[in-house]
Amino acid sequence: MSSLPVINSATPQASESGEQPAGSGKTHLLNQTEPELRDWLKERGHPSFRAKQVWRWLFAGRASTFDQMTDLPAKLRTDLAEAFDIFVASEAHLSKSRDGTEKILVRLADGGEVECVLLKDGIRRSICVSSQVGCAMGCVFCASGLDGVDRNLTKGEIIEQMLRLQHRLPDEERLSHIVMMGMGEPLANLPGVLGALDAARDANGLGISPRRITISTVGLPPAIDRLAQQGIPYNLAVSLHAPNDELRSQLVPVNQKIGIGPVLDAADRYFVSSGRRLTFEYVLLGGINDSEDCARELTDVLKGRTVMMNVIPYNPVEGLPYVTPSNEAISRFKQILEASGVNVMFRQRKGDEIDAACGQLRRNRGSLNKK
């Protein structure tokens, strides 16, 4: 983020290394890799193949304690329990909506809180996971960024959200899709996010194809380029929210330091290197970015690009002045985009009654006042 003073000014303290200790003083097992666990086992005279067994218990067996790992010798289970915590956070609140969406407010070992969501759609079991406590991007319509960013999450804290959501599923169901679109800007915490996604992709982890994993960003060009250099075909979703710099800088303040042009250029480079179709996100705010002019300008911006445009009618946040667009404005906006040949999807708002917009549950629970 060196070229982005706005982000640097709030660069979080924790976890570039992912080595943040668990609250008990033990090591967070989910911050380790399987080879690291193998080394630990060898040093203590345990066979290194046990690491694979432990990993299988964590990701396929859905174990949350070492006692549940019944095919491990008792001595090994004791040694592991003395050295490691599997989960270091707790569930401060769980909400379920009528459409099957479940949202967990996760309280971290240091008292910080983040949110993660399980969405059920047909046979899909998608999860939306947070990458930071708070967010430095300051999108004016978002509850997560209202108070800035506290810190990056560790790799283990991100994996823990995935596993907690997986544990909500019946045994016969498995997670199918991951979206890094919860609290925080994932590309401002690349080490933590990429480490967690390694475990999500791994055949011995959650085994989810990168083609079913989406990283959502406001668009930080240097970090998009670093992501492209990984050579892993994740889907990239760039949040535009406006068709021109004047409006985008009002809605997404970090845009003042970047500009739409460089964001689109970086997205184009990602498309070329990954071969993955780009997604652009556009939160439709009543009376602000939902006019016919905005729709036409947007079609100009997207012309010649292979993209999916996700338009999301705004979910109101208590205390913020923004409103859901009228049905008429939504259908006009849709018509103009479709008529120009843009692939456009108007996303249903799932989990409305449980504050499913990111940051809403944390805020409405008043947790910011508790810290």
Nearest to ligand SF4 of 79, 185 (CB atom): 185
In the complex, what is the shortest distance from the CB of residue 317 to ligand SF4, in angstroms, rounded to a whole number? Answer: 10
The residue (of 295 and 358) whose beta carbon lies closer to ligand SF4 is 358
241 is in an annotated binding site: yes
E strand or H helix at 80: helix 74-83
Residue 128 is a catalytic residue: no
To the question of whether residue 302 is assigned a binding role by annotation, the answer is no
What distance in Å separates the CA atoms of residue 298 and residue 290, rounded to the nearest whole number?
11
Provide the angle, in degrees to the nearest 10, between the axes of the packed helices 50-59 and 34-43.
140
Q: Which listed residue (102, 115, 157, 160) is catalytic?
A: 115
Give the tokens for residue 23. Answer: 């609250």
The residue among 69 and 220 lying less far from ligand SF4, judged by its C-beta, is 220
Q: Does 209 carry a binding-site annotation?
A: no
Residue with the CB atom nearest ligand SF4 in the bound state: 145
Coil, strand or helix: which one is 280? Answer: strand
Candidates 229, 246, 258; CA nearest to 238 is 258
Owner of token pair 């205390």: 319
Q: How far is the CB of 186 from ligand SF4 (least distance, A)?
A: 9
To the nearest whole angstrom, how small is the minimum distance from the Cβ of residue 201 to ligand SF4?
Answer: 23
Q: Considering 116, 128, 294, 358, which one is annotated as catalytic?
A: 358
Q: Which residues make up the interface to ligand SF4 (CB under 6 A)?
A: 135, 137-139, 142, 144-145, 183-185, 218, 358
Matching residue, tokens 């009618």: 313
Nearest approach, Cβ of residue 254 and ligand SF4 (Å): 8
Tokens 């609140």, residue located: 93
Nearest to 260 by CA among 216, 301, 306: 301
* Minimum distance of ligand SF4 from residue 139's CB (angstroms): 3
| Region of 81 on the Ramachandran plot (φ > 0 left; ψ -120 to 50 alpha; else beta) | alpha
Neighbouring C-beta atoms of residue 194, cutoff 10 Å: 18
How far apart (Å, rounded) are the C-alpha atoms in residues 193 and 158? 7
184 labelled ligand-binding: yes
216 is annotated as contributing to ligand binding: yes
Does the annotation list 128 as a binding residue? no
Largest CA distance in the chain: 69
Smallest gap from residue 280 Cβ to ligand SF4 (A): 14
292 carries an active-site annotation: no
Between CA 188 and CA 178 the distance in angstroms is 18
Kindly tell me the number of DSSP H helices and DSSP E strands found in the chain: 14, 14
Residue 176 assigned to a binding site: no
Cβ closest to ligand SF4, residue 21 vs residue 148: 148
Closer CB to ligand SF4, 41 or 251, in the complex: 251
Selection from 261, 194, 218, 193 nearest residue 7 by Cα: 218
Cβ closest to ligand SF4, residue 116 vs residue 137: 137
**Rg of the Cα atoms in the chain:** 21
The binding site consists of: 135, 139, 142, 184-185, 216, 239-241, 315
Binding-site residue numbers for S-adenosyl-L-methionine are 184-185, 216, 239-241, 315
**Active-site positions?**
115, 358
